[in-house]
Structure 1
Amino acid sequence: MDTTGSINAAACDTIENDEGLDEVLDDSEEKELVTDSCSTKVLDITEEPRDRYNVVYFLFYLFGITSLVPWNFLITANDYWMYKFRDTTPKNLTVLEVTKTQFQAEFTSYLNVATAIPNLIFLILNFLYGHLVSVKSRLQGSLVVVTLCFLLTTSLVQVDTDEWQNTFFIITMVTVVVVTAASAIFIGGIVGIASRFSKEYMGAIVSGQSLGGIIAAVAQIISLAFNMSPLHSALIYFAIADIMVISSLISYVLLYKIDFFTYHILRGSGGIASNRHREVSITLILKKVWVYAFSIFAVFGISMCVYPAVTVLVQSHPVTKGTIWNTKFFVPVVNYLIFNCGDYAGRLVAGFLLRPTNQWLIAGASVLRIIGVPMLMLCNAQPRSHLPVIFLWDWEYIIIMIVFAFTNGYLTNIVMINSTRVVDVHEQEKASSVIVTMLSVGLTVGAAVGMLLVRLL
């Protein structure tokens, strides 16, 4: 029996009846695709198209990178923010000790909150009302907003803000809120799309997010290696982010020209559209995935408690004082590059190992990571006035950071992949949205706790 042919005929017949179209396809994106596809070969093929040269897979990787470009590039540009918020009052030349201003010490914590809260709010809004706007419009629109915000951030690099640091801080926070809201819409949409493909494509999104952090860290380290000023370094740094976002916007538009992509968008992951759009019970989905939802909440809540609000304050061992490692490369290399490499390695290993599979073991391992919070707080984070420094040496801090980062990436991929395996095909998209939303809840709670932990040092 030619099942695909029956699907094609039914789809094309449905288009002739607008009311029938609404009954079969409740997603405006799919209505548009079906309408456009009736005169193309997508609805005439008898077997699933191939992802030639893995183009769609690599584009998903790019989208994963882009989804966290705002976070990775804004949080990694620590040297730039420290320069912008430095103490500009005249100093006694005999005073050699340089202390951080309040803005410098707490900027990362404020940045965490400014990204976590709007991220959570707009992920929830996307989950509840996203179906009212086509996926294509949501994702393209969000990428346009991210591009405009980053262009504004880039334009302010060469502007002298020393006399109006408070205003610059407010402008920066507002920009961060807007760009985070747009990114949340993009993440919610692209994860929902990835759930319609095989697990490798979800893995590409998740791994791409971590790879974006590595790219950001490497870009910063290279700019520092060329002894550029913080301003020139940031200008090149943010320009790279602009190029990546614009590339994703162009790529997403072209993605709809690929038969493999439109085939899966129309039919879902292995099933016809009408099957995937059976009535979805949110309560039933929550019953199936609540343990995974808790796990992802724990993973990112625990990570955000200390990274990067506390870890960005960690300094190299006093014996390295005055060296280029201490003054320039320690924070970019250890706090950003090593963390993101560890996180990426964890996600890659989880992609082919997928152990454990028992949801309770995964939840237990997620909670166990809380051990890393006091260990990182007892590293050489400065300034501090309450807690002692136990792990003073660089190698101790690096080992703790690697383990903390690897488990973050490993458990993230385990949860993202396994959570879609415990629900039916037509429930996978909503299940993925639940997991992403709980991830954001973890980020928000962790960011709030992180602000408290900085003051407890």
Structure 2
Amino acid sequence: MDDTGSINNDQSIENEEDIDFSEDRELVTNDSCSTKVLDSPEEPVDKYRLVYFLFYLFGVTSLVPWNFLITANDYWMYKFRDVEPHNLTVYVRKTQFQAEFTSYLNVATAIPNLIFLILNSLYGHWVSVRSRLLGSLIIVTLCFVVTTSFVMVDTDDWQGTFFIITMFTVVVMTAASAVFIAGLMGISSKLPQKYMTAVISGQSLGGIIAAVAQIISLAFKISPQHSALIYFCIADFMVIASLISYVFLYKIDFFTFHILRGSGMAANRHREAYLTIIVKKIWVYAFSIFAIFGISMCVYPAVTVLVESHPVTSGTDWNNIFFVPVVNYLIFNCGDYSGRMAAGFLMKPTNQWVLAGASILRIIGVPMLMLCNAQPRKHLPVLFPWDYEYILIMIVFAFTNGYLTNIVMVHSTRVVEMHEREKTSSIIATMLSVGLTAGAAVGMLLVRLL
């Protein structure tokens, strides 16, 4: 943060005795919130690091829809299989629903996510953060309960209707998740930086949990229906636990202190956070987050999911069953998670231009991954055929993704004033989504270049 911003925030906190806290008291004076902290001269302690772990849980929950819906690919292929008796032969081609489901799923998640992140950036201040977060969690919970309820239902005779219901719930769930993510980033930016790191690391941990669940189901040869039931029940538990935890969060003095007083929020309550002013301060960080995720999505998962194990492992379970789940999902998510954790301790580089340069430099990983053993291919040679080569490239690519993401998220909210942090988080989250969408579009082209 620049010196002027620091002085302004310090003066705001020092002059709190002259400020009318009536609006802040009205905001939190109800049965679920702690108000005594407003009169406390000392900063409360995060006992047992409870708030920290709750923000970790919120981070995991924020990407639950994406992680668990994608992981249940075998379940979707089962639901939309060809059920006509005359087609029950040894080799059955994919139905239209099976062939197009993943593409529709990507569209049903990418577009609502981007739209609602933009809407939240522009109009989110019209609704309180608490209402947005609680409302979005309730909607996600209801949608996942509906999705779970269909797992053991026979939908063979009405696959078209089931497809429409599924896409509708995914769109609604994604829109609600976008609002939740933006709000979560906003409130975490008003706490010490390790709490935003907890959210960012939690998002990556969710991917690890989903990948491990998939590998376990494959190892024990669990049926697609039962494995999906396990995935979705885990997701239901996480979302419901987050919903209850968020209500409980307002009873914790440490959280209330930082949101309402310790952060200087009361002093800045009537100050407008102008979008143009914020963009001037953070545009380099916004570009960096766009570059990070745009570059990652160019090849992950569109290209990386096509990479096969070296031919010497042909016929083994490693090649036929475990290679893609372990390397493409588990190792990538572990590398990404490790990067986010490491950044929480180091937080370097601090210079925004160096950070932008490092983000762009990751583009080296794109051709390297395309030159791994991705099949089928017509144009490019395979320069890295061995599994260990692909795994090393994937680890570096994933680690830098997580490491730079954490640094951008934290630093971007530290170069603005306190009352601008929530809108800053929304802008960064929106640019992240734009990067994902642009990268996914480029990824479709890169697959044709293999």
TM-score, length of structure 1 as denominator length? 0.87
Partners of 2:34 and 2:253 within 8 A in 1: no
Query: What amino acid is the match of 2:308?
Result: Q
Farther-moved stretch of structure 1 (225-234 vs 272-281): 272-281
**Correspondent of 1:135 among 129, 136, 144:** 129
Query: What amino acid is the match of 2:349?
Result: P
Q: Which residue of 1 aligns with 2:374?
A: 381
Partners of 2:13 and 2:267 within 8 A in 1: no
Query: What amino acid is the match of 1:420?
Result: T
Q: Which residue of 2 aligns with 1:301?
A: 294
Q: Which residue of 1 aligns with 2:429?
A: 436
Provide Cα deviations, 1:236-282, integer angstroms capped at 9, x if missing partner.
Answer: 1111011000000010011111111112221262x251235423232
**Correspondent of 1:362 among 355, 358, 363:** 355
Q: Which residue of 1 aligns with 2:63?
A: 68
Query: What amino acid is the match of 1:301?
Result: G
Partners of 1:289 and 1:422 within 8 A in 2: yes
**Correspondent of 1:46 among 26, 41, 52:** 41
Query: What amino acid is the match of 1:50?
Result: V
Deviation of the 1:40 alpha carbon: 4.3
Partners of 1:4 and 1:45 within 8 A in 2: no
Match of 1:423, SS state, is coil
Match of 2:267, SS state, is helix
Partners of 1:118 and 1:181 within 8 A in 2: yes
Deviation of the 1:175 alpha carbon: 2.1
Query: What amino acid is the match of 1:49?
Result: P
> Aligned pair 1:256/2:245, yes or no?
no
> Aligned pair 1:227/2:221, yes or no?
yes
Change (3 A) 1:154 1:178: same
What are the within-5 Å matches in structure 2 for residues 11-410 of structure 1? 11=20, 15=22, 21=23, 31-33=26-28, 40-86=35-81, 90=87, 93=90, 104=98, 107-162=101-156, 165-267=159-261, 269=263, 271-275=264-268, 277-410=270-403
What is the root-mean-square deviation of aligned Cα atoms in Å? 2.7
Provide Cα deviations, 1:412-451, integer angstroms capped at 9, x if missing partner.
Answer: 0010111122222222222222111111111121222233
Change (3 A) 1:412 1:215: same
Q: Distance in 2 between matches of 1:390 and 1:316?
A: 14
Change (3 A) 1:272 1:179: closer
Report sequence identity in percent.
Answer: 76
Q: Distance in 2 between matches of 1:434 and 1:446?
A: 18
Q: Distance in 1 between matches of 2:379 and 2:262?
A: 55
Provide Cα deviations, 1:134-155, integer angstroms capped at 9, x if missing partner.
Answer: 2222111111111111122222
Change (3 A) 1:99 1:449: farther
**Unmatched runs of 5 consecutive residues or more in structure 1:** 16-20
Deviation of the 1:350 alpha carbon: 0.9
Deviation of the 1:313 alpha carbon: 2.9
Change (3 A) 1:392 1:300: same
Match of 2:153, SS state, is coil
Change (3 A) 1:138 1:179: same
Q: Distance in 1 between matches of 2:33 and 2:96?
A: 61
Provide Cα deviations, 1:9-33, integer angstroms capped at 9, x if missing partner.
Answer: 8545xx3xxxxx4xxx6xxxx7421
Query: What amino acid is the match of 1:324?
Result: D
Match of 1:126, SS state, is helix
TM-score, length of structure 2 as denominator length? 0.89
Partners of 1:34 and 1:266 within 8 A in 2: no
Partners of 1:7 and 1:272 within 8 A in 2: no
Query: What amino acid is the match of 2:59?
Result: G
Deviation of the 1:204 alpha carbon: 0.7
